[in-house]
Structure 1
Amino acid sequence: MREQLSAVLAESGESGRPRLTAQEVAALPVPESYRAAVLLREETEMFAGMSSADKDPRKSLHVQEVPTPELGPGEALVAVMASSVNYNTVWSSTFEPVPTFAFLERYGRTSPLAGRHDLPYHVIGSDLAGVVLRTGPGVNAWKPGDEVVAHCLSVELESPDGHDDTLLDPEQRIWGFETNFGGLAELALVKSNQLMPKPGHLTWEEAAAPGLVNSTAYRQLVSRNGAGMKVGDNVLIWGASGGLGSYATQLALVGGATPICVVSSEQKAEICRRMGAEAIIDRSAEDYRFWKDEHTQDPKEWRRFGSRIRELTGGEDVDIVFEHPGRETFGASVYAARKGGTIVTCASTSGYQHQFDNRYLWMSLKRIIGSHFANYREAWQANRLIGKGRIHPTLSRVYPLQEVGQAAYDVHRNLHHGKVGVLALAPQEGLGVRDAELRARHRHAINRFRTGTGPV
């Protein structure tokens, strides 16, 4: 039955075939189980005593059959055509900073309905592109057959704090990381207010790639809740060709700012040039070493880095630093920002314990802003830019669901650039395009991160 579902949904709208109606999709039987990428509670100590770099997601991620969850009020069951790997996939699969089962246990205690999430297995994944199969009571904006992408913010909104900015909801969670039934699977369970329209000019795998990182970059860089970037700003972007930085680079260019792209190889520098960036620092080639040893940073390197930035900007310091590496770079980031500038951070992939010289912060009136994913409005606006062809997917490689461990390994070891996609129910790449005319206008930009064969 699962194979039948895959074939019917994949062919709907392809090769001139009419798309299925809401009634036809609603009539499709929902399978009792589905294949999913899972972590097992019994294996949370498998990497005990190992360094982060030595942990291997290929050993902890399993693809197996799991029961289809019960559909609750305000929720949707989505047939996942494709998904993608994010850094929280790596954290989940290496059980860092804590095993995600602690999140599921905590969530499960909040209500009987949330108790569904507290299981001995965790279906992970925080992106998807697919087709709505069923909706629960109280869902009016979406119906079976709708082609959607999902953002990863799960909220309860029973606290007044969340009604100003949903990121302030005390029960805010990241779907597929702090909740179960995520997107690296053939089916996924989401709240209906996570759904957004799938961009019609993209394939399933391309549409699944931007969600988490594009929304995160939008709030961090563009939103008034983040740095509030404006025309003319200089923006320092760490990892500018990566899954997150590649969207920050595009947003800076579209928004009239100047990205100063920091990368780790000439290949990644070339990707930034293809996006339209001109100011690029290859930190490996220029051998920046911000730490003398494990405990001591080197301010001389901060100054050398700042001088290099000013060479590229005509003598100006940066207005905004787009931070996510964390411990390794944070001292340099605080130093490099201009007087009155902003360092906005959304992650700490190289370590959570940040060190910086506070004199460069307080005496120069700089600001540090914490930014975590995006609220529904910000995610919707970020997806709207994708749908209009203003921002493009940065998909570089696609794996089948069975090889999700290798996909996560690539991201963990920084063997990738852009985003790594995963096919779920989609039987092959290249399906799902509804707007061929818009695609033709942006074909080059859509494919500029591809490293192998793939749709054009």
Structure 2
Amino acid sequence: MTSDTKEILDAILEPETSAADFAGMALPGSYRAVTVHKDEAEMFAGLAGRDKDPRKSLHVEDVPVPELGPGEALVAVMASSVNYNSVWTSIFEPVSTFGFLERYGRVSPLAKRHDLPYHVIGSDLAGVVLRTGAGVNRWHPGDRVVAHCLSVELESADGHDDTMLDPEQRIWGFETNFGGLAELALVKANQLMPKPEHLTWEEAASPGLVNSTAYRQLVSRNGAGMKQGDNVLVWGASGGLGSYATQFVLAGGATPICVVSSPQKAEVCRRMGAEAIIDRTAEGYRFWKDEHTQDPREWKRFGARIRELTGGEDVDIVFEHPGRDTFGASVYVARRGGTVVTCASTSGYRHEYDNRYLWMSLKRIVGSHFANYREAWEANRLIAKGRIHPTLSRVYPLEETGQAAYDVHRNLHQGKVGVLALAPREGLGVTDPELRAKHLPAINLFRGA
């Protein structure tokens, strides 16, 4: 930490610091950030994805503070978190993110700032606004904020019904530079949302990407449109995405059927309130006979197990994100007229399924990618009200982000893995201790899991 960033931290920790104080504070010339390097994009060539090690590719280094443009905000980052897109960036899969930065750099002279030989990664943050650019009226220096990761230009009509359809839609910190795994971050002002007051910085930083993604995927009319009484199959139900999906299912009056891979993860789901749980490792499901051949008998065995847990009913919705390993089974087990909603492919992008079970049973496959600003705002509002809770299990310092990403890559984690940026320790940032006390057991449910 430089003397300039320490001054920023001291101001944030001092409750009497005013908006004018933040606005008058000198900005540092550089800041610490987690980066990947363009000249190392081939460092894992020839290795299987599982063998690529984020600890070797992620660097923590000083980088220059970027120029602030119109409609943007510079935020002092107190904490961030690791998402699977940070893992993808770190192992240069499915492609190097420097291609994204190069394409963005061609959009405008201002966007050219993002096309650099290093990429500051990270798609979550909780922190304090330091500066705003021309045209920003809603947010001011000193505001305590979290950020969602949708970056849009909105110069096309396509994005004005659903901003996720903007042709220039990008994921901040993955397809843009100056992400949240750093002491400072550059965001568009329409990414900002109020920080939930009952949460610490690291807790507030952890839901953003996954909570908004799960909200759109399940609750929004742009996703599955879940309703009360639905049966919802949740893959990876104790993981970063699945832990929020499980909460939304329970909070929405539906029934989660939680798929996990260990007794410990099953116990976490029980503590969230789920009752129908399948430990796919213990029950030995193998949906692929070999690399090229799926096993429909395993789909049927899986479907029968689901019906045992639901009183004979098939699932209305499948919350999909593993991809290749599970997609054939997901299409099969969805009820007649049911929906498979997918937002990722962490086990592989080339899906195979038996289309007879889709068309003859009138099922739907819905693609869902992150969330628009309204959906992200609503998802954050539920966090702020204590209806949905962070699923933070472990927190690392910025210097150990490589290890944090490794844990996520190897599925060694539960829920979300947080990272402290400017925050000197965990436990800071709470301004509503009353609401916190009311929900503390739920807030800490994943701790030590």
Normalised-by-shorter TM-score class: over 0.9
CA apart distance, 1:9: 3.8
What letter matches 1:98 in structure 2? V
CA contact (8 A) 2:324 2:345 kept: yes
Structure 1: distance between partners of 2:34 and 2:11: 21
Structure 2: distance between partners of 1:308 and 1:157: 46
Cα deviations by residue, 1:301-330 (Å, 9 ceiling, x for unpaired): 000000000000000000000000000000
CA apart distance, 1:12: 2.8
What letter matches 2:324 in structure 1? R
Partner of 2:18: 21
What letter matches 2:261 in structure 1? S
CA contact (8 A) 1:10 1:427 kept: no
CA contact (8 A) 2:147 2:208 kept: yes
Partner of 1:231: 228
Partner of 2:6: 4
Partner of 1:53: 50
CA apart distance, 1:8: 1.6
Cα deviations by residue, 1:90-116 (Å, 9 ceiling, x for unpaired): 000000011000000000001000000
CA contact (8 A) 1:6 1:426 kept: no
CA contact (8 A) 2:162 2:372 kept: yes
What letter matches 2:4 in structure 1? R
What letter matches 2:389 in structure 1? H
CA apart distance, 1:28: 1.4
In the alignment, does 2:91 pair up with 1:89?
Answer: no
Partner of 1:401: 398
In the alignment, does 2:75 pair up with 1:73?
Answer: no
Cα deviations by residue, 1:197-253 (Å, 9 ceiling, x for unpaired): 000000000000000000000000000000000000000000000000000000000
Aligned ranges 1:129-144 → 2 under 5 Å: 129-144=126-141
Structure 2: distance between partners of 1:125 and 1:10: 21
Cα deviations by residue, 1:145-200 (Å, 9 ceiling, x for unpaired): 00000000000000000001001000000000000000000000000000000000
From 355, 364, 373, give the equivalent of 1:358. 355
CA apart distance, 1:10: 4.2
CA contact (8 A) 2:12 2:128 kept: no
Structure 2: distance between partners of 1:435 and 1:109: 44
In the alignment, structure 2 segments of 5+ residues that lack a partner are none
What letter matches 1:414 in structure 2? N
CA contact (8 A) 1:399 1:407 kept: yes
CA apart distance, 1:27: 1.3
CA contact (8 A) 2:331 2:353 kept: yes
What letter matches 1:368 in structure 2? I
CA contact (8 A) 1:10 1:431 kept: no
CA contact (8 A) 1:326 1:349 kept: yes
Structure 2: distance between partners of 1:80 and 1:158: 29
CA contact (8 A) 2:128 2:144 kept: yes
Structure 2: distance between partners of 1:67 and 1:46: 25
Partner of 1:300: 297
Partner of 2:327: 330
Cα deviations by residue, 1:117-153 (Å, 9 ceiling, x for unpaired): 0000000000000000000000000000000000000
What letter matches 2:401 in structure 1? V
Structure 2: distance between partners of 1:270 and 1:183: 31
Structure 2: distance between partners of 1:336 and 1:199: 38
Partner of 1:377: 374
SS of equivalent residue, structure 2 residue 88: helix
CA contact (8 A) 2:5 2:28 kept: no
What letter matches 1:115 in structure 2? K
Structure 2: distance between partners of 1:196 and 1:253: 25
Structure 2: distance between partners of 1:64 and 1:6: 18
In the alignment, does 2:444 pair up with 1:423?
Answer: no
Structure 2: distance between partners of 1:298 and 1:188: 47
In the alignment, does 2:129 pair up with 1:128?
Answer: no
Partner of 2:248: 251
Structure 2: distance between partners of 1:26 and 1:428: 25
In the alignment, does 2:85 pair up with 1:115?
Answer: no
Partner of 1:209: 206
Partner of 1:411: 408
CA apart distance, 1:6: 4.5
Which stretches of structure 1, 4 residues or longer, exceed 3 Å deviation after superposition? none
Aligned ranges 1:270-289 → 2 under 5 Å: 270-289=267-286
CA contact (8 A) 1:385 1:391 kept: yes
Partner of 1:345: 342
In the alignment, does 2:187 pair up with 1:184?
Answer: no
SS of equivalent residue, structure 1 residue 148: strand
Structure 2: distance between partners of 1:292 and 1:215: 35
What letter matches 1:2 in structure 2? D
CA apart distance, 1:3: 4.5
CA contact (8 A) 1:10 1:432 kept: no
Structure 2: distance between partners of 1:298 and 1:9: 60
Cα deviations by residue, 1:363-388 (Å, 9 ceiling, x for unpaired): 00000000000000000000000000
Structure 2: distance between partners of 1:232 and 1:299: 28
CA contact (8 A) 2:79 2:202 kept: yes
Structure 2: distance between partners of 1:215 and 1:39: 26
CA contact (8 A) 1:407 1:420 kept: yes
Superposition TM-score, scaled by structure 2 size: 0.99
CA apart distance, 1:76: 0.1
Structure 2: distance between partners of 1:6 and 1:290: 52
CA apart distance, 1:29: 1.2
Partner of 2:386: 389
CA apart distance, 1:21: 1.5
Partner of 1:40: 37
